Chain A
Amino acid sequence: MSASEPTQEQIYAQFESYNFDNDATFQTGLKSILNNNLGKTEKDQEDAVRNAKFFYYSRFVRNFDYQQYLAWRAAGGSGSAQETHEIQDEQQTTEAAPVQEAESSSSDANPSYPKSFQEICELIASGKPIPGIRQIPNNLAEGTPSAPKLAPKPKPWERATQTQQAAASSTSQASVAEASS
């Protein structure tokens, strides 16, 4: 197996091209991470996202040394278009939205998320308040819940079975009648 092991650079490249955008598990985790980092600086949040990606990838996909990876990146990395984009990201922190980053770094195998989806991700990542969230009291309804008035209705497939059974029983009755006549 060791002969076919990828090089460190290949591992880094695989990590950077990993489709985090399409990974529902990661996206969930990311949501809570971003929530936990609301109010932090943009740089901190970006670091949190990158750390989250490393943590997730190293745990579920392939383990590698993060410090060595960061050193490799700092030294210029692979110089790919994606790398350039991420470096730009570090300078233009308004583009720190993880979804946008993932989208630009991946092939057209990704579905295109709505533009406003990215805008919300940007707001979350930059710690800006999300407009329009209302506080709903965690109350239960006052008043008496309704009592059921209707009997459960047979489902179409239950009706079909009943019809078959009825047909079968009427057939057998008919044959009994025939036999007795």
Chain B
Amino acid sequence: MFATHRTTGYNGYALQWSPFFEHKLAVATASNFGLVGNGRLHILNVSAPEAQIGVERVFDTQDGLFDVCWSEVNENQLVTASGDGSIKLWDTTLADFPIQNWHEHQREVFSVNWNLVRKDSFLSASWDNTIKLWSQNSPSSLQTFKGHSHCVYSAMWSPHSPTLFASCSGDHTVKLWDTNSPAPVQTILAHGNEVLSLDWNKYQDHTVVTGSVDHTIKVWDLRRPDRELNCLRGHEYAVRKVKCSPHSGSLVASTSYDMTMRIWDITTGDMIEIHDAHTEFVLGVDFNLYRDREIATCAWDESVHVFQPRCLM
């Protein structure tokens, strides 16, 4: 069983549970599948244990929203990534408009990610091939990282280091960066096709997981970049998002254009759950940080699902 919330007129792109409140869920959506038209940020309240979903607030934007991340220092604030290249900072106590709007990227911004250790900055990854580092208090970006030769789909901070982050790109590579250096410290030719998503294992230093248009998910030890530790097969189309569990070093969730969300045990390589209730591409997935069995997904079918996967019961 799962609870559903309809984002009518808006196709789901990404979602994230609040790092402060176990019941708050932010969902980034775009009308017309992100091709053209408006975006909407939804702040949802999910009650337990029945998972009734209510709307706390919505914010509308001119262009589609492709990603969202909560601030790690202010419980009311969050950042969105827009199709028009803009990045907006929102305060859920203030209606209608963002409190900050940055527009430096030349093309779509596809991911935003807040620093998990120092918590003083966030990253954006764009189809203009660059990654930018931002502070919410600075009117312009602090740093631009160039090195990818195609769209950068995601840039994610290490959960263990204040300066280390990894990125993945349409150029088939994963790059490892340190904010103290403008050039990547490491490049891995990760897949035979575009790498759409990446996440860090929270319990094993040096371990990242990638998802690709080649349908596979790969697990990497960054100290041995010549070959993946494991390659997980099962998705029938491109893997759109991978997310490492905050509760276990062995669990990874993934979403795909095959309209499913799957959960994997990366130590055995087994797929241990498949959620196939969405009726269009599934894009977003996140584990609730503080209700350790709860997971949320969003899809192009204009719906958000919140549920407890059987494998976590």
Interface residues of A in 87-142 (CB under 8 A from B): 110-111, 114, 116-117, 120-121, 124, 130, 132-142
Is there an interface contact between A152 and B32, defined as CB atoms closer than 8 Å?
no
For B153, the chain A residues whose CB sits under 8 A away are: 24
Contact A114 B33 (CB under 8 A): yes
CA distance A136 to B82 in the complex (A): 14
> Is the C-beta of B292 less than 8 angstroms from some C-beta in chain A?
yes
Majority SS at the chain A contact face: loop
Pair A155/B36 contact, Cβ less than 8 Å: no
**Which of A22, A116, A140, A160 interacts with B203 by CB under 8 Å?**
A160
Q: A22-B238, A140-B101, A146-B74 are in contact. Are A120 and B95 (CB under 8 A)?
A: no
The residue from A35, A132, A155 contacting B289, defined by CB atoms under 8 A apart: A155
Is A6 part of the contact surface with B, judged by Cβ < 8 Å? Answer: no
Q: Is A153 an interface residue (CB 8 A)?
A: yes
Q: How far is the CB of A42 from chain B (nearest CB, A)?
A: 17
Query: Are B194's CB and A140's CB within 8 A?
Result: no
**When the two chains form their complex, are residues A155 and B19 in contact, meaning their CB atoms are under 8 A apart?**
yes
Given A117-B33, A145-B77, A152-B119, is A157 in contact with B257 using a C-beta cutoff of 8 Å? no
Q: Return chain B residues, CB-CB under 8 Å to A149.
A: 75
Q: Contacts A114-B280, A145-B99 given; indicate if A35 touches B36 (C-beta within 8 A).
A: yes
Q: For B98, list chain A residues within 8 Å (CB).
A: 140-141
Q: Is B45 an interface residue (CB 8 A)?
A: no
Q: Report the bound CA distance from A142 to B36 in whole Å.
A: 28
Choose from B35, B38, B62, B108 the contact partner of A120 (Cβ within 8 Å).
Answer: B35
| Distance in angstroms between the alpha carbons of A149 and B76 in the assembled complex | 9
Name the interface residues of B184-225: CB closer than 8 Å to any CB of A. Answer: 194, 196, 202-203, 213
Q: How far is the CA of A137 from the CA of B62 in the complex (A)?
A: 8
Which of B35, B60, B91 has the most CB atoms of chain A within a 10 A radius of its CB?
A: B35
Q: Smallest CB-CB separation from B93: which chain A residue?
A: A146
Complex-state Cα separation, A121 to B32, whole angstroms: 9
Q: Which partner residue on chain B sits nearest A150 by CB separation?
A: B75
* Cβ A133 vs Cβ B246 within 8 A: no
CA distance A110 to B237 in the complex (A): 7
Residues of B within 8 A of A148 (CB): 73-76
Cβ-closest chain A residue relative to B116 = A155
Inter-chain contact B100/A140, CB cutoff 8 Å:
yes
Q: Which residues of A contact B182 (CB under 8 A)?
A: none
A146 touches B76 (CB 8 A): yes
Q: Which residues of B contact A153 (CB under 8 A)?
A: 19-20, 289-290
Specify which chain A residues have a CB less than 8 angstroms from the CB of B150 in the assembled complex.
25
Q: Contact at A155–B202, with CB atoms within 8 Å?
A: yes
Query: Is B9 located at the chain interface by the 8 A CB criterion?
Result: yes
Asked if B300 CB lies within 8 Å of chain A CBs, one says yes
- A134 near B94 with CB under 8 A, answer no
Query: Residue B281 at the A interface, CB < 8 A?
Result: yes
Nearest residue, chain A, Cβ from B201? A157
Task: Chain B residues near A155: list those with CB within 8 A.
Answer: 19, 116, 159, 202, 246, 289
Contacts from A to B (Cβ < 8 Å): 22, 24-25, 28, 31, 35, 110-111, 114, 116-117, 120-121, 124, 130, 132-143, 145-150, 152-153, 155-157, 160
- Nearest first, the 8 closest Cβ-Cβ pairs linking A and B are A111-B257, A157-B202, A141-B94, A141-B97, A111-B237, A148-B74, A146-B93, A146-B76
Besides A140-B97, A152-B73, A153-B20, 10 other A-B contacts (C-beta < 8 A): A24-B170, A24-B194, A25-B151, A111-B257, A111-B258, A140-B100, A145-B94, A147-B74, A152-B119, A153-B289
